[in-house]
Structure 1
Amino acid sequence: MTAINQTLSLQTVEGSHERDSARINDSGIERVPDSIVIERALEISVEIDDSDTYPLGVTMRTPGSDTELVLGFLLSEGIIQNIHDVKGLSVGDDKGVVSLAQSSTFDPDVHSRMSTISSSCGVCGRISVDGMLNNPDSAICDDLKINLDTVNACIISMKQHQTLFKFTGGSHATASFTPEGDLERIYEDIGRHNSMDKLVGSYLSDCNLPITDRIVVVSGRASFDLVQKALVAGFPIMVSIGAPSTMAIDMANEHGLTLACFAKSRSISVFSGTSRIEI
């Protein structure tokens, strides 16, 4: 093979870094820079009474919107129910420290993690998932209805706004849409559960929970932890580009969430809550 040394300019976006690579094919080797999604650890801990500090674990994430990530994570874990359960929050140097109010429901025996939360697993390290199963306790709104036109509009719009994915091919996205299919908010991260936490945390920070009149769309598969996070936030409809898991389907059915997967142009597979889909 023939080595070809070539210097190219590379445009990077927030959440990515440039790394050297060697592209090898039948014509030889081409040395080019590539845009790679950032993966970095974020340590999350909570303080009680401004004295006792408890580590919740380490999550592997793409830096950016860390405040929203921490808030969404605490909500989905059942540690807080609203923004008033948080007295203070500081994020910096890859650490997030939350001062909890007395109204929070933090239990170190339940909420402490035993290991790192990887970018591919949102529940790894938990001692038990029992608390997560009990979190969604509010009734899901039945008023929201959508059709295939809405789903199609959501898919097209989300793909157009996945900037980090366009440059790196290595990020997941979670987005919220109006009933008409208009994009409201979108977050990207190397971890699909992180992108969901960032989205939900942004609504929590604005005191806009529960989210009863919006559709949540995820760019990958519908896993149990994503369904649980969507339920805690109050979303009545969740659309996934990829496949669901058995636990995701069972939880969606148990709590009345519409779960539509394998979403593509003019086609979806609905595994629960078909009454919200108009034909």
Structure 2
Amino acid sequence: MGRITERRRVVRIRDGLVTERADTLVGEEPLEIRVNGRPIAVTMRTPGDDFALAAGFLVSEGVLARADELGRIAYCAGATDADGGGNSYNVVDVRLASGTLPPDLSLARLERNVYTTSSCGLCGKASLDAVRTTARWPLPLTGGPLLSPVLLAALPDRLRAAQRVFERTGGLHAAALFDGEGHLLDIREDVGRHNAVDKVVGRALERGALPLEDAVLLVSGRASFELAQKAVMAGIPVLAAVSAPSSLAVDLAVESGLTLVGFLRGASMNVYAGAERIALPAPAGA
């Protein structure tokens, strides 16, 4: 299996002083995901938690929602990787339990949908409609924790303290699940934001925890439409990001009942949707 980190020689320049040294880099390799033996998607990821990544990816595509829908996941023995070589643990096959695939979602259509969205995207309305029609939970999302701004403000530091590989590489995104009291439930790191989210969602699926209706998902970068989609498809009611959301992510949050918080830095934050889950203080001067 590929390594999470690798060492490379670099020339370091600091204040005019030139030295050579070894540097630790985050690993990045392709992962091909197959469903019942059929290639569905290829994603660039940091090796590790590959089975959870594949399961979480299929949650976001509306294929999986419960642990009993998953048959087994295995690396494909004898498969060829992107370079035409032997099995390098870069190909996984997800076997679905009998009858799991929704009747209106064939593998052929899933393959076309995934490759289309990853290569050229969809228009805003089509993207929103796709989530609404494939979500396995009733929308809009209801319930969820009531969070104080003070609790939310503490989460980025807790996420950062738990990023073990980031400490050595500085090159990884992270996604973390917290409960309504701010306790860390799980954290995964990956070179891709979407992969980190798929890993935490996939691990939740494997332990039968979906929908994550009382959880908060915190991501280390921006909140794109894709990450908002993954939160909704996992039944997560709150998505927070340390950077900005996209306009389509906000549209999806409003339509789906998702609480979306951006620019979560220190004691400041912007609530773009779902403010009813935030215990807001009275406005200044009220």
TM-score of the superposed pair, with normalisation by structure 1: 0.86
- Equivalents in 2 of 1:94, 1:156: separation in Å? 33
Residue type of the partner of 1:111?
L
- Equivalents in 2 of 1:115, 1:251: separation in Å? 19
Residue number in structure 2 paired with 1:157: 158
**Matching of residue 97 in structure 1 with residue 93 in structure 2:** yes
Q: Runs of at least 4 residues of structure 1 off by over 6 A?
A: 114-117
SS state at 2:217 partner: strand
TM-score of the superposed pair, with normalisation by structure 2: 0.83
**Matching of residue 124 in structure 1 with residue 118 in structure 2:** yes
Aligned pairs for 1:71-150 (under 5 A) are 71-91=55-75, 93-100=89-96, 101-105=98-102, 106-112=105-111, 123-125=117-119, 129=127, 131-136=130-135, 137-139=137-139, 140-150=141-151
- Aligned-residue offset at 1:127: 7.9
Which one has the bigger helix percentage? 2
Aligned pairs for 1:39-54 (under 5 A) are 39-47=28-36, 53-54=37-38
- Equivalents in 2 of 1:73, 1:46: separation in Å? 11
- Aligned-residue offset at 1:94: 1.1
Matched-pair identity in %: 35
Aligned pairs for 1:1-279 (under 5 A) are 15-47=4-36, 53-91=37-75, 93-100=89-96, 101-105=98-102, 106-112=105-111, 123-125=117-119, 129=127, 131-136=130-135, 137-139=137-139, 140-279=141-280
Residue type of the partner of 2:119?
G
- Aligned-residue offset at 1:99: 1.4
Task: Name the count of aligned residue pairs.
Answer: 256
- Equivalents in 1 of 2:188, 2:61: separation in Å? 20
Q: Deviation per CA, 1:73-108: give whole Å up to 9, x if none.
A: 011111223222222211362111011222222423
Residue type of the partner of 2:33?
I
- Equivalents in 2 of 1:54, 1:35: separation in Å? 35
Residue type of the partner of 2:92?
G
SS state at 2:118 partner: coil
- Aligned-residue offset at 1:111: 1.3
- Determine if contact 1:59/1:116 at 8 Å carries over to the other structure: no
- Determine if contact 2:65/2:234 at 8 Å carries over to the other structure: no
RMSD: 2.1
Residue type of the partner of 1:138?
P
Residue type of the partner of 1:179?
G
- Aligned-residue offset at 1:25: 3.9
Unaligned runs of 5+ in 2: 77-88, 281-286
Mark the CA change 1:260 to 1:89 in structure 2 (over 3 Å): closer, same or farther.
Answer: same
Mark the CA change 1:152 to 1:127 in structure 2 (over 3 Å): closer, same or farther.
Answer: closer
- Determine if contact 1:42/1:95 at 8 Å carries over to the other structure: yes
- Aligned-residue offset at 1:116: 7.6
Per mean C-alpha deviation after superposition, the further-off stretch among 161-170 and 256-265 is 161-170
